[in-house]
Chain A
Amino acid sequence: MVSYVVRRLLQFIPVLFLASIAVWAIIYAVPGSPATALVGTDATPEALAAAEERLGLDKPVPLQYLQWVSGAVVGDFGDSAINGAPVLGQLAERIPASLQLALFSLTIGLLLALPLGIVSALKPRSVLTKVINVYQAAALAIPTFWVGILLIIGLAVKRNVFPSVSNFVPLWVDPVGAFRNTFLPALCLGIYISGIIARFVSASLKDSLAQDYVRTARAKGVPEGAVISKHALRNALLPTVTVVGLQIGEFLGGTVVTEVVFSYPGLGRLIYTAVTGRDYPIIQAAVLFIVIAFLLINLIVDVLYALLDPRVRLE
């Protein structure tokens, strides 16, 4: 297991190398140079040249990359093009906020999805299941920003239950404040993923329930509750782990819209402001972080899978 994890971590190196080229090349993929974005289109040629020099854009392209990447490996992603503060520091401020939001969202998502998925698998023909199916489709189809705005109007503006602007209050500093501030955006994201996860739980539980070993358990006289929880559900959760892992990965960087709607100071909003301001050093570092996060989560899912399913061997 340990050697497998080490080998997988070593495999990250080529992936990260390729990713870093792609990430760095973002600058050239977008029309207009970062320097133009910085000084404005009306700037004098001298001002433009000065900005280019400051950003290092006057040097040959491979050299620019080498400079950037040699800084990146030691955690130096340069300074923000907009406010001049070190990129790493800004990232380090936002990542815990996004992690906390991801944790809250996932908890809410699972709390909603597991019962819904289980009920619709156990009682596929009931009225409740039809309602759940509608919910699942709606949760997937309705955009999160719309749900977010409705939540803000309903629970923050009309009734002052939650703040309309969600600040980052670390859970370990003030749990109640953290809950109050993170709940609305987390609910918004939780509803969204609960649709996907419930569908997975339902499909794989239905599949497990039709397996021979479930019939064997019933023939052994095992009470129905234990048949479902000990035999069917344990097997059904295996595919669910994969989906949940992918969702976490998406959350770490992909909650841009929700974070903007709730003015939540997470990684997503940092990326949003960086993109609108053409703050390339920030974008590059943030995207690279998301790549690393995805790689790590995939590794964790694989290890978790091996722990849950004895048939899977990590060789």
Chain B
Amino acid sequence: MATDPELIFAIDDLIVEFDTPEGVVRAVDGSGYQVSPGETLAVVGETGSGKSVTVLAALGLLDGGRIVSGTVTFDGQDLLRMPDRRRRRLLGSALTMVFQNPMSALNPVVRIGHQIAEVLRVHDRSLNKAAARRRSIELLERVGVPQAEIRHDQYPHQFSGGMLQRVVIAMAVANDPKVIIADEPTTAVDVTVQAQLLDLLRVAREETGAAVVMITHDLGVVAEVADRVAVMYAGRIVESGPVREIFAEPRHPYTVGLLACLPRLDQDIAELTPIPGAPPDLRHLPDGCAFHPRCTLSRGREQCQEQRPPLLAVAENGEPAVASACHFHDEVAAWAQEGTTADPDENGGQHG
């Protein structure tokens, strides 16, 4: 899979563990996804499902965790096994990140312009100060920061959250990246600014032709920007496929649950349906399918409790195919239909 020339960035079977006083936590448990140039992949999941840890581990930016196994391929090169020096040359130039909280992602005591110029000069030693300054101002203008000339010499605390995130995006696109990984880029900013930032990222993708991995827990964001979506649960991808197909016909009970939590304008729904139970304790993951204790489709079937379902292609008609990690993916459609009309008590009785 990793040798496919069509793929610019691929994570395969990544396992990441953390040592805690309460025991080993397996935050990422065989997760993996791929993106092609120009494509936007959304990685969706609850807090703690391992979305962020997966990319941080893949890029060697993880603090404290341990990569147990897996491969990460960028542009045909193995990211995990290359020397730090070579990986550093890729980070910030061909492979860039946009972080969740722009307020803390920038150094409070360094001028905005210097922080942008830094990413230019680290990767282009021949760039002198004056040229770097010109390019930083251009970049600020490109991401829509007004009065770029003045803003260039200001400090992060003089910026709003939305403006800071524009700065972070400017740094991410500065060196014409091939892959941009955006880790919940709109979570920490005002709703009114979210759409602008998503638009900016879309424009950045179109201008650079980069692949975008958008990590989010917001299905609204997914619908807006993504071509494909990968749903993550307890450190694994449980379903992946084109956004349209996943939204229309989810093939995993967890995806069904996520979509049922989403308010819709096109249907009259009296109440939103929460997923019963809580995300699993990553120190003691259940045997079999990690979702089975919360799954109303499983109904206590032994296969769900004992065998871990692999992520397999389920729909051959669509290209790329939808893949689901559910033993009973062919039952999901019918179950989802009855689930929305079923008695709330049967559905876990968590309304309220």
Residues of chain A whose beta carbon lies under 8 Å from any beta carbon of chain B: 210-213, 215-224, 226, 230-231, 234-235, 238, 308-311
Say whether B107 contacts A217, CB under 8 Å.
yes
Q: Which residues of B contact A213 (CB under 8 A)?
A: 104-108
Assess whether B88 is interfacial by the CB under 8 Å rule: yes
Residues of chain B whose beta carbon lies under 8 Å from any beta carbon of chain A: 56, 59, 61, 63, 84, 88-93, 96-97, 99, 101, 104-110, 118-119, 122-123, 155, 157, 168, 171
Q: Which residues of B contact A217 (CB under 8 A)?
A: 107, 118
Q: Which residues of A contact B168 (CB under 8 A)?
A: 216
Question: Known contacts A210-B63, A212-B99, A310-B157; is A220 also within 8 Å of B171 by CB?
Answer: yes
Q: Which residues of A contact B56 (CB under 8 A)?
A: 215
9 A-B pairs, CB-CB below 8 angstroms? A212-B99, A216-B171, A220-B122, A221-B89, A221-B119, A222-B88, A224-B84, A231-B107, A234-B110
In the bound complex, how far is the Cα of B90 from the Cα of A219, in angstroms? 9
In the bound complex, how far is the Cα of B56 from the Cα of A25, in angstroms? 64
Contact of B122 among A211, A222, A234 (CB under 8 A): A222
Contact of A215 among B99, B110, B123 (CB under 8 A): B99
In the bound complex, how far is the Cα of B91 from the Cα of A213, in angstroms? 15
Closest 10 CB pairs of A and B: A221-B92, A220-B92, A212-B104, A221-B91, A213-B107, A310-B155, A220-B119, A219-B97, A221-B88, A216-B105
Known: A212-B101, A310-B109. 4 other contacts (CB 8 A): A211-B104, A221-B123, A223-B88, A311-B157
Say whether B104 contacts A219, CB under 8 Å.
no
In the bound complex, how far is the Cα of B110 from the Cα of A238, in angstroms? 13
Q: Which residues of B contact A309 (CB under 8 A)?
A: 108-109
In the bound complex, how far is the Cα of B268 from the Cα of A36, in angstroms? 98
In the bound complex, how far is the Cα of B119 from the Cα of A224, in angstroms? 14
Q: Which residues of A contact B91 (CB under 8 A)?
A: 218-221
Interface centre among B89, B93, B109 (most CB of A within 10 A): B109
Q: Which residues of B contact A238 (CB under 8 A)?
A: 109
Q: Which residues of B contact A230 (CB under 8 A)?
A: 110
Q: Which residues of B contact A212 (CB under 8 A)?
A: 99, 101, 104-105
Q: Which residues of A contact B63 (CB under 8 A)?
A: 210, 215
Say whether A218 contacts B122, CB under 8 Å.
no
Say whether B108 contacts A310, CB under 8 Å.
yes
In the bound complex, how far is the Cα of B101 from the Cα of A238, in angstroms? 23
Expressed in whole angstroms, the minimum distance between the Cβ of A12 and any Cβ of chain B is 29
In the bound complex, how far is the Cα of B177 from the Cα of A220, in angstroms? 11
The closest CB in chain A to the CB of B60 belongs to A218
Contact of B99 among A216, A223, A234 (CB under 8 A): A216
The closest CB in chain B to the CB of A311 belongs to B157
Say whether A215 contacts B171, CB under 8 Å.
no
In the bound complex, how far is the Cα of B284 from the Cα of A29, in angstroms? 68
Expressed in whole angstroms, the minimum distance between the Cβ of B83 and any Cβ of chain A is 13
Q: Which residues of A contact B92 (CB under 8 A)?
A: 219-222
Expressed in whole angstroms, the minimum distance between the Cβ of A54 and any Cβ of chain B is 59
The closest CB in chain B to the CB of A237 belongs to B109
